[in-house]
């Protein structure tokens, strides 16, 4: 494949109060960290961008529930290369040259339900990568971006007619978040996929490590799937 061995790691710029306890949603930390680690290990360059060039963290994503000891050490190290990228070199999508990238990976957090469907800067980078034969990938709530990523040949979403996964509606129910999502009139991942003509498949349980490959589109279901989804995207990129 002649596309550059360089990843655009997309993150949400939405950072508003979302949870019943008054905490904010935003970037789900490990859903960007773990893919970053996989890509670097596989010899990719990585840039990080959001739609606006700003971001905030999902406040639940940095609790003990979701961080291993190693993740926590990384999170608390401001000089870790990932944190340096995130906090000192975060790009605004519209300022980037899409031709520099061969792989697009949309990280997540519930925040993405709010900004990814309208994030034309990020979507257009993914469109350009896809058109040139690159890979488009997303995990958990990251697939919220995919209905808006159009195949320039057909004018339809790149997931039209494809099989995808992402965070389940059952998972939203279990987390008592469905009422908030419905009240805010944003689409669940399952609804967005259906609207775009994709077939959605669930993981065996909402938090089981699970991903789907369909052509050059690779999707993962939840935080536990972030690393394996990136690994799968790398394999597709490398033609394995």
Residue 140 lies in a domain: yes
Backbone phi and psi for residue 228, each to the nearest 5 degrees, phi listed first? -70, -30
Q: Give domain status of residue 112, yes or no.
A: yes
The one catalytic residue among 140, 190, 211, 227: 140
| pLDDT score, position 1 | 52
Residue 163 belongs to some domain of the structure: yes
The active-site residue, picked from 110, 141, 211, 227, is 141
Residue 206: CA atoms inside 13 Å, Cβ hemisphere, count? 12
Query: What is the structure's pLDDT at 101?
Result: 98
Helix axes 81-88, 30-41, angle to 10 degrees: 120
Sign of CA dihedral 191, 32, 93, 24: positive
Per-position pLDDT tens, the chain of length 240: 579 999 999 999 999 999 999 999 999 999 999 999 999 999 999 999 999 999 999 999 999 999 999 999 999 999 999 999 999 999 999 999 999 999 999 999 999 999 999 999 999 999 999 999 999 999 999 999 999 999 999 999 999 999 999 999 999 999 999 999 999 999 999 999 999 999 999 999 999 999 999 999 999 999 999 999 999 999 999 998
In a domain, 1, yes or no: no
Calpha distance 123→19 (Å, rounded): 27
Q: What pLDDT is stored for residue 2 in this prediction?
A: 78
> At CA 167, angle to CA 12 and CA 185, rounded to 5?
65
DSSP-assigned letters across all residues of 14-61: ---B-STTSPBP-B-THHHHHHHHHHHHTT-EEEEEESSS---B-TTT
172 is catalytic: yes
- Report if residue 219 sits inside a domain: yes
Full-prediction pTM beyond 0.85? Answer: yes
Domain count, the chain: 1
- Read off the CATH number of the domain in which 202 is found: 3.40.50.880
Buried b (16+ CB within 10 A) or exposed e, 77-112: eeeeebbebbeeebeebeebebeebbbbbbbbbbbb
* CB-based contact 211:220 (threshold 8 Å): yes
Q: What is the pLDDT of residue 240?
A: 81
140 is catalytic: yes
Domain span at 168: 6-239
Active-site annotation holds for 141:
yes
Classify residue 71: in a domain, yes or no: yes
Distances 133 to 84, 102, 114, 218, 238 between C-alpha atoms, Å: 30, 8, 28, 14, 12
- C-alpha to C-alpha distance for 178 and 172, rounded to whole angstroms: 5
Of the residues 31, 51, 127, 172, which is catalytic? 172
């Amino acid at each position: 494949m002649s596309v550059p061995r360089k990843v655009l790691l997309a993150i949400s710029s939405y950072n508003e109060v979302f949870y019943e306890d008054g905490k904010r949603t935003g970037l789900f930390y490990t859903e960007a960290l773990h893919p970053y680690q996989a890509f670097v290990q596989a010899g990719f360059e990585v840039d990080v961008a959001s739609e606006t060039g700003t971001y905030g963290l999902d406040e639940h994503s940095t609790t003990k529930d979701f961080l291993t000891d190693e993740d926590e050490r990384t999170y608390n190290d401001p000089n870790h290369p990932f944190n340096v990228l995130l906090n000192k070199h975060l790009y605004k999508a519209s300022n980037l040259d899409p031709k520099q990238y061969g792989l697009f990976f949309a990280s997540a957090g519930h925040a993405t339900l709010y900004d990814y469907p309208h994030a034309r800067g990020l979507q257009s980078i993914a469109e350009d990568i896809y058109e040139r034969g690159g890979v488009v990938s997303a995990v958990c709530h990251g697939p919220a971006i995919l209905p808006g990523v159009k195949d320039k040949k057909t004018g339809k979403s790149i997931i039209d007619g494809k099989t995808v996964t992402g965070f389940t509606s059952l998972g939203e129910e279990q987390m008592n978040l469905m009422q908030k999502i419905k009240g805010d009139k944003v689409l669940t991942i399952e609804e967005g996929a259906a609207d775009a003509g994709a077939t959605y498949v669930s993981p065996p349980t909402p938090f089981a490590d699970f991903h789907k490959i369909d052509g050059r589109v690779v999707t993962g279901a939840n935080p536990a799937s972030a690393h394996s989804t990136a690994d799968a995207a790398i394999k597709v990129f490398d033609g394995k």
